[in-house]
């Protein structure tokens, strides 16, 4: 079994940057890939072996590839459109952390197999802070041999790894079901805080009550703080939940399964996106409610 020493992290957003830094702490040679020059500069400062807008020039030096992008099209772009899959050494494991459908995960794994590249279907959760700390939750599926190859990387980036079977697509399905909850929790939190605003209850008070009572959730505590602060700088955008809850809806359709709450949440996020809030933090879904005054960032 080849020892993993050099790792490319493709996608240096709020989650990917944390993954890359966790790999650096684990003393991997890290190659950071992104189209954002500021992200490349940040990772260079942290000690990356190299940074670039493409991993192709480094392909032969890589022992593993970790992809932390937004959707299946971006996964295909960085792997196939760029020529990376063709340039990698055969048997280089590819860990796909994007939230994608099970069908897309299976199709990408099949395309990678053409180049003799094994894949781990390994979506992640936990937010930017846990990514930075190397304490992400990974829900992964794939052959046991690929789990074994990637174990050092998984240990570096995750606080908890849940193996959910050998079949590619199962990891993605678990993540999609998780995103159902995450999206509904944000939407419900926004509805509650909007009602508080309508009732002239100070939102910082409402937030304090909920976060010390039974109605709290991780998503409420994390996202509604943005509302209290009037700061919608994105760590995860409204449009991400339009995409993720869309995947939830597609998965439910394939299972012939009703989703009354998730469907409402998807409508709320879609309304927020159409109102021009798509690139703001996903807590900006609260802005769809009329007749309320929200805090502004000072």
Do 54 and 156 belong to one domain? yes
**Where in the sequence is the domain holding 31, given as residue range(s)?**
6-167
Choose one of 110, 140, 167: the last residue of a domain: 167
Choose one of 167, 193, 226: the last residue of a domain: 167
Task: Answer yes or no: is 298 within a domain.
Answer: no
Do 128 and 271 belong to one domain? no
Q: Determine the pLDDT at residue 7.
A: 98
Q: Determine the pLDDT at residue 235.
A: 86
Ramachandran quadrant class, 230 (left: phi over 0; alpha: psi -120 to 50; beta: rest): left
Do 160 and 190 belong to one domain? no
Q: What are the DSSP calls for 156-206, one per residue?
A: HHEEEEEE--SSTTHHHHHHHHHHHHHHHHHHHHHHHHHHHHHTT--HHHH
Q: Determine the pLDDT at residue 297.
A: 83
Do 183 and 50 belong to one domain? no
Q: Which of 106, 98, 102, 101 is nearest to 77 (CA)?
A: 98
Catalytic residue among 21, 49, 175, 243: 175
Task: Report how far residue 275's alpha carbon sits from residue 277's, in angstroms, rounded to the nearest whole number.
Answer: 6
Do 117 and 261 belong to one domain? no
Residue count of the chain: 298
Q: Determine the pLDDT at residue 76.
A: 98
Do 56 and 198 belong to one domain? no
Do 162 and 177 belong to one domain? no
Do 150 and 193 belong to one domain? no
Choose one of 109, 142, 167: the last residue of a domain: 167
Do 161 and 182 belong to one domain? no
For residue 281, give the 3-state DSSP assignment.
Answer: strand
CATH code of the domain covering residue 80: 3.40.50.720
Do 138 and 53 belong to one domain? yes
Do 140 and 179 belong to one domain? no
- Number of domains within the chain: 2
Residue 254's CB is within 10 A of a number of other CB atoms, namely 12
Residue 175 bears catalytic tag: yes
pLDDT tens profile 110-121: 999 999 999 999
pLDDT tens profile 211-261: 999 999 999 999 999 999 999 999 899 999 999 999 999 999 999 999 999
Task: Answer yes or no: is 205 within a domain.
Answer: yes
Positions in the chain whose pLDDT score sits under 70: 1-2, 298
Task: Answer yes or no: is 1 within a domain.
Answer: no
């Amino acid at each position: 079994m080849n020892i993993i020493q050099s790792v490319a992290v493709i996608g240096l957003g709020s989650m990917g940057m944390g993954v890359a830094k966790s790999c650096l702490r684990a003393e991997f040679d890290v190659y950071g890939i992104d189209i954002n020059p500021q992200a490349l500069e940040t990772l260079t400062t942290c000690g990356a072996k190299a940074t670039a807008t493409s991993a192709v020039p480094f392909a032969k030096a890589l022992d593993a590839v970790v992809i932390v992008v937004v959707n299946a099209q971006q996964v295909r772009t960085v792997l196939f459109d760029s020529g990376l899959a063709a340039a990698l050494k055969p048997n280089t494991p590819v860990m796909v952390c994007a939230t994608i459908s099970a069908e897309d995960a299976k199709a990408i794994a099949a395309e990678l197999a053409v180049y003799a590249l094994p894949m781990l279907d390994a979506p992640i959760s936990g937010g930017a802070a846990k990514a930075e700390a190397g304490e992400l939750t990974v829900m992964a599926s794939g052959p046991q041999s690929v789990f074994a190859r990637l174990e050092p990387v998984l240990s570096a980036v995750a606080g908890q790894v849940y193996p959910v079977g050998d079949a590619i697509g199962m990891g993605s399905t678990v993540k999609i079901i998780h995103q159902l909850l995450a999206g509904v929790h944000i939407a419900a939190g926004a509805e509650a805080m909007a009602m508080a605003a309508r009732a002239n209850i100070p939102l910082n008070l409402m937030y304090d009550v909920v976060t010390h009572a039974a109605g709290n959730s991780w998503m409420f505590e994390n996202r509604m703080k943005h509302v209290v602060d009037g700061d919608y700088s994105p760590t995860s955008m409204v449009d991400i939940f339009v995409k993720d809850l869309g995947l939830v809806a597609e998965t439910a359709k394939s299972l012939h399964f009703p989703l009354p709450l998730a469907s409402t949440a998807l409508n709320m996020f879609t309304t927020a996106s159409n109102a021009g809030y798509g690139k703001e933090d996903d807590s900006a879904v609260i802005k769809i409610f009329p007749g309320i005054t929200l805090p502004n960032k000072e």
